Copies of this chain bind each other. A is one copy, B any other.
Amino acid sequence: MTSRIAAIYIFDGVEPLDCVGPFEAFISVESSEGEALFETGMVGETMSPVSGVGGLVMTPRWSFETMPEVDLLLIPGGAGTRPLAKRPEIADWIRQQNDKVEMMLSVCTGAHLLAAAGLLKNLKATTHWNTYDWLRSIEPSVDIQEGARWADNGRIICSSGVSAGIDMTLHVIERLHGEKLAARAARFMEYEYWPLT
């Protein structure tokens, strides 16, 4: 079975569960022969440790410069997305990655960085329930799926807040590898609440 590279962007002010929930889901899925199906790592703007919300310090596996070509890129949310949404070089990086990746994913206010990069024009999206207006202010054409756990546009998929990133990642795993392996990953994580499709 094909193995894919999944990178998760981390930055100062990242919400811990937004990034680590999907990380756990990606590392929990195995082929029926017990092989890992995703090589998963955190990517930072540099290799310096970042301080997430609540002071959780994580060190990236890759920097923007050293990262390999990845198949899936996930942009999490958190208070740190407010300043990042105003930095043109972050929007540039997201656009460059978007030209190359198989799927671009966001959790929570990570969607706002996709919007700032111009990627959500006329697309379905979702974000944390308390930030719908902020998302619309960045991208007025966005079609927010209020209350949905995720909004799947095929290649660009956004999830709502914090824990919903886990549900979306299991959904992505199901799309790529089928219900059986996705359900087995959920069972390993004891995260069996989510509807599979």
- The answer to whether A190 has its CB under 8 Å from any CB of chain B is yes
- The answer to whether A58 has its CB under 8 Å from any CB of chain B is yes
- Provide the A58-86 mask, 1 if CB < 8 A to any CB of B, else 0: 11010000000000000000000000000
Chain A: residues with Cβ within 8 Å of the partner, total of 34
Copies of this chain, count: 2
Q: Could you tell me the dominant secondary structure of chain A's interface residues?
A: mixed
A115 to B122, CA, bound (A): 55
Which B residues touch A161, using CB under 8 A? 188-190
Binds B, one of A48-56, A87-95, A97-105, A173-181: A48-56
Which residues 6-43 of A sit at the B interface, judged by CB distance below 8 A?
A: 15-17, 20-21, 23-24, 26-27, 40-42
Give me the interface of A with B, judged by CB distance under 8 Å: 15-17, 20-21, 23-24, 26-27, 40-42, 49, 53-59, 61, 128-129, 160-164, 166, 188-191, 193
